[in-house]
Amino acid sequence: MATSRRELNKAATRQGITDAALTLLRSKGPGNFTVEDIADTAGISRRTFFNYFSSTDAALASVTHGFLDNAIQQFKLRPANEPILQSAQEALMALADPMTVAPLAELFTLTQQSTLMSHSELEAWDHCREQITAVARGRAAAGPGAVDELYLRALAGSVISCGKAAMEVWFTRRGADLSPASLAELRQLLIDAMALLGSGFTAGSTPAPSPSASRSS
């Protein structure tokens, strides 16, 4: 296993860097601190920072990356005969607990003012999309006939988009509220989003696919 001194030190340094980056994000706001600030706060040299991350964004995006890696792990555990949409839903359900969601929620609220996600964060989501594509390809290959690339890519992309949409709506509505009621709403939003996708968005302007859907504005 990875319990040598070297591994531990590296992990600690890595964690120290993201902690420092988050601290500075909290105190100074996005874009108002430099790599040197992070390095100083973490007690390392500027050069060492770049040995771990390629940018400030990358350091912060490790939060998102961790969450999505977790999600992919859950996703891969789902039975191969389960529909992709349901696998995605179940994987996300497993992560809708306070401890897992908290870092992501804080990162989101702190970076809300900057319109678009950072490059590194988008990279993390895209990596997740590729993983989903790979799993879907594997499941399709097990069945009959040839694998349809369009189907795989469109499906994986849409799943990611809907997952993002659900989280965005939740963050927008609830901010960093991690109460049981709020998390229940997140779960419902994720379920609704996958249901919308599974039903082809057939509902009109007032869909409410699951009766107990959303709403609490």
Partner DNA sequence: GTGCAAAGTTGCACGTAGTGTAAATGCGTG
Partner DNA sequence: CACGCATTTACACTACGTGCAACTTTGCAC
- Binding-site string for DNA from residue 39 to residue 68, where x marks contact by CB under 7 A and - marks none: -----xxxxx-xxx-xxx------------
Tokens of 51: 């040995």
Q: Which residue has the tokens 């996703």?
A: 75
Contact 1, 19 (CB under 8 A): no
> What does the DSSP 8-state code read for residue 117?
P
The residue type found at 125 is: W
Q: Which of 157, 176, 177, 187 binds its own copies (CB under 8 A)?
A: 157
Q: Which of 10, 127, 153, 173 binds DNA (CB under 7 A)?
A: 10
Contact 17, 38 (CB under 8 A): yes
The nearer residue to its own copies, 69 or 123, going by C-beta atoms, is 123
Residue 55 contacts which entry, its own copies, DNA, none (Cβ below 5-8 A, type-dependent): DNA
For the segment 165-184, give every residue that binds DNA (CB under 7 A).
none
Tokens of 100: 């897992």
The nearer residue to its own copies, 109 or 214, going by C-beta atoms, is 214
The nearer residue to its own copies, 41 or 170, going by C-beta atoms, is 170
d(CA 171, CA 105): 7
d(CA 150, CA 172): 32
The nearer residue to DNA, 53 or 170, going by C-beta atoms, is 53
**199 lies in the binding site for its own copies (CB under 8 A):** yes
d(CA 152, CA 146): 12
Residues contacting 27, CB < 8 A, separation 6+: none
The contact set with its own copies (CB under 8 A) reads 84-85, 116, 119, 122-123, 126, 139-141, 143-151, 153-155, 157-158, 160-162, 164-166, 168-169, 172, 189, 192-193, 196-209, 214-215
